[in-house]
Every structure is written in C-alpha cells, then in structure tokens.
Structure 1
Amino acid sequence: MITSQFIDIIEAATPDPNLLMWKFEDTDKEIKNGAKLTVRESQIAVFLNEGQLADVFQPGLHTLSTENIPVLSRLKGWKYGFQSPFKADIYFVNTRQFVNNKWGTPAPIMMRDPEFGQVRVRAFGTFDIQIKDFETFFRQYAGSYRTFTIFELQYELRDFIAPKFGEVLAQENIAVKDIAGNVTELGGKITPFLKPYFAQFGIDLITFTITSVTLPDEVSAHYDKITNMNMVTDMDKFTRFSTAQAIGQQGTVANEGTTSGMIAGMMMNQMQQQMNQPAAQEDIMAKLQKLKTLFESGLIDETEYKAKKAELIDKL
C-alpha cells in the first residue's frame, strides 16, 4: 500500500506465476523511515541504490531502519541513522521451483551408428530450476530488467542444453537402436555438464529429463519392417486371414474379387508348403519371381509382398 506522500508499507503478491523478478511500483515516491516490508514465502526482496545492489530481505516482516539496511545505509552515507524520506529501487524475486520447462534440439543431432553409419536424431525433454543465489542472479543476469519471466530464461538455457546433449551422445557411443532404452542414464550423464552453466546465473538445476528421442525416418521404417515380419509367426493362418479379409471387403459384388482373393490364398499357401521343404537357390529365385507376379497383379498387398520377400531372401 502507498500513502499519498510516502511509502510506509511495501509488499507485493506475485502478479504473474511466470515472473522470476519484478520491480515494486513506487510511483517515484520516497520510503518512510520505519516503513514495513513484507516478504512472502517463495519471495526475496532486493534493495538497489542508484543501480547498485544493496540489501536483501528473506521472507518475513521487516521494519526499515538503519540497523537492518546496513549496506544501503553505508551507500547513502548515513553514519548516525537516516531521516525520512529516502529513495531506493525495490525488486521482488520469485524463488519457487519452476518445473516442466521444455527443451529440444532445434535441429537434428548427427551421431555415428555402427549399423546405419551417420544418422541424425532429435531429442526432447524437461528441466526444473530454482533461483538459489539471488544476488548472482540479479547481478549477472536480471538486474537491467524491470520484469523478467521464466520464458526469457528458457530460451538461453535451451540454447546451451541442445549442444551438450549432442556432445555427451557422441562420447557415449550409444547405438541408435539403444538410445530409447538408455534415456535415464543418458540424462544423468548430461546433468553434471549443465549444472555449472546454470549456477553462473544463480540458478540451481534440480531435475533434467530426456522424455523422447526421435529416430530418422529411414531407421524407423527399417525397424517397422522387422517388427511386421516378426509378427507373422504362422504364415498359413496369415494367408487364410488375408483371403477371408479380401472376401469380406468385396461384399455382394465380390464374384471377381472373391475369386482373386481365393486364388491369391491358394497360391500363397502353395508357396508356404514349398518353402517348408528344402529348396535349392534356383527354386527360391523362382518363388521370388512368382511372388513379384502376385504383387504386380494386385493379388497381395505391399506389406505381404515385403514380408514374404524378406523371408525368401533369408533362405538364400
């Protein structure tokens, strides 16, 4: 609350939960001797004299007098106490934890993989921070602002996180297919590199997490193909299912479609029976040609074609 002439009560609820710091609006009025300063939990109050950081107040109720503003008294030259009024800039700092801050690689990170060679991956995650050394935070980073939000800080911190992720990923020499299963361990190895950088701003990095790693399209397609092939454990059941599905899709106008589906099923079943017997390479090549004919004739779809082709090639 501000009186008509002097400030005698100084307090401020956080106007925006995203604010890290904001200036107390004094409307250019002077502070009364003995004024009351209320600092709430998760706040710090900072007094400045002509742009120079003076006294810092922890949560609680404070009476502003020579005894409890020693730095300001010295900067003002008050040897025997001060008389009202006096001026000082007052800032409040939000010291609560700021959680679930997003980070990500703005561009794919190049890594070397023993199976695929050089590949590019992207990573995303979160980090939790809290202002611990508020004097350092104010002097090194926020002192020139009237207000300062978590969003401005996020931009700078994210620009540092992404390169460090790439460095640690290269040092660990993890195969691209193993990254997803090692994100917790990888995050733990990156954290020690990030903490000193955050600390220079007076900020404590509480938690750093990698939530996902995105593989290149060609790598994802490769593993999708392997997964699809592994799902086909009984080729005879798969053939009957495909035939029945084709019959059902044709409906009442399905004479031609039903015939095609039945023919395809019979041919696929015949091929399966032949594949269950030892065959020379020439037989396998002939089966590959027959399989290609089935595909080009539209009697089997691309997924069936690729799965059966891979199975035949494995037998060469």
Structure 2
Amino acid sequence: MFGAGRHTLTTLNIPLLTSLITTPLFGDTPFRSEVYFVNQIVFIDLKWGTAEPILFRDSEFKMIRLRSHGIYSIQIVEPKLFVEKLVGTRAVYTNAAIEDFLRGVIIGRLSDLLGENLDSVLDLPRYFDELGAGLKARAKDDFYQYGISLVDFIINAITPPEEVQKLIDERSGMEAVGGMDRYFQFKAAQALGNIGAGGGGAAGGGGTDIGGAAATGLGLGAGAGLGMMLPGMLQQAMASGAQPKMRCPNCSSDIPADSKFCPNCGHNLQATINCPKCNTTLPASSKFCPNCGQQLGAAAAPPAPASEPAEGSGEAQA
C-alpha cells in the first residue's frame, strides 16, 4: 500500500526475459497488477432508509410495521482493509453498491435496537436521541471491520403506517374532548352534518350515476343510525349534567329538588297541608292552591259573620 504522493510501478519482474515472455502475448505482460485509488475524505450526507417496513411488536397497537430514514457520514480509515474485505471481493464495485451494503447493516441493527428498547410507538419522541446514539455505536463496530469509520449518524424519522397514525390522532382527540363518550358524540354530530351537506348537494344536481346513488344510500343509512343514537346520547349527557332545582320558601335559595331540609336555613320542606276546597296535598308554605286557585293560610280572608237582628227592629209587638 502506498501513501499519498507519486509512485512509479515497473513490470520488470524477470529482467532480460521479460521481452521474450511478452512476445507471444503481443507485448502484454502475464504478470498483471490492479491499482486502487482510495479517497480518504469524509463522505457526508449519505442517506439510509427502510426499503421494506420493519415488523414491530407494539404494546398498544400489537403488531405494526415501521419505516425509518436518516443520513450518515463515513470516512475510509484503513484503505488496505477496505480493499481486501469489501472492494477486492468483486470485479466491479460501485459507490451505489457500497451504500446499499452499508444501508443493510444499519437496518439490521435498527431492528434489534427497536425490539430491545421500545415498548410503543407513542414513546418514540423521547427516545430519538438514545436510539440514534445506540444505533451509531452498534453500526460503528460493523463498519470498522471493512476499514470504514462511521463519523456521524442521524435518525430523521421513525413512522408507523397511515392507519396507525389515524388511530393515534383519534386517541389524541378523545383525550382532548374529555373521554370516549364525548368524542363519539362529537363524531356523530360531525357525521350528521357531513351527510346533511352531501344530501343537499345531491338534491340540487340534475342526476347521479349508480355509484353515486349507492354511496348516497350508504351515507343515509349510516346517518339514520347515527340520528337514532344521537338523541339518546345528548339526553344522557344533559341528564347527567343538569340536576333539577327548587326554591326554598323561607330564604328563597336555589336548592336540589329532592331536599328534605333547606341546606341554607334549615327550613323543613316536608310539612304539607290539604287544600280545603279540592283536598290537594300542598307544601305547608303554599299561599294558593295550584289546582283550584283557593287562597290558603293566613292570607285567606276570614268568612263574614252572620248578621244578628238589631234590637228594637222588626215588626212591632202587638
């Protein structure tokens, strides 16, 4: 191996006889040599990525497939080792072929690292730096076997399939609106609004094809089911959120309707009286009967006393 500089190679392996040996070969020497020029600069911005998704066992979403990509930079630090183990094993070895080989090494190490350190894709954001450092440490030893030093290594992204991304978005939506029940209520109302908008557009058009009619029918069927479910959901939410109230007849405070005593003044709310006219049972503090309008309690006017004949009035006694 020659270092940097200018070198002269001669083919006089057998002095004086070289010309005789090369005569039958039309001047070509039978002792051939191959010269490899190895560039030892740092090669930057080399890209790596998963050609096929990596199968990953997720604690939240079970078996999913992950894709990943990033960049790295390398430098050839042992030219002899590089030529003997990598380049010299094939007649033609291009830069693209070397990159494909190194990419395969990286993906193999990434699969092992994900299985050992990650439980769920939901934890990926906080493990990016650790995964990058761990993957660089493992791949660096593999690269050095071929005389290559892994200078830099960066993971740009590790992404699940589109279906899993939608599930993650829906889960975030549930947490944002306060739970699964409220999320389904929101989605049902949104679906009804979309179906209503689609129905108006279909009515305004002059005609639809069979596929459009079938899609509209499916949409109306789903809308009918949601329409039957939504009132019950809303009534349940309203019933759980609103409690009936009443007013205390003594201090006028708003109190629960099923209270037996006023929590503000302690007034007994269970005392009752009967209407003298229609015999309806009423609270003791009632002033009028809501059934017949009879005035009750102390506010009722006393009956007029019967008039007695005045003395000296009437017919004169005989």
- Could you tell me the TM-score, scaled by structure 1's length? 0.49
Tell which has more relative contact order, 1 or 2 (C-alpha 8 A, sep 6+). 1
Greater strand fraction, Structure 1 or Structure 2: 1
Greater CA radius of gyration, 1 or 2? 2
- Could you tell me the TM-score, scaled by structure 2's length? 0.49
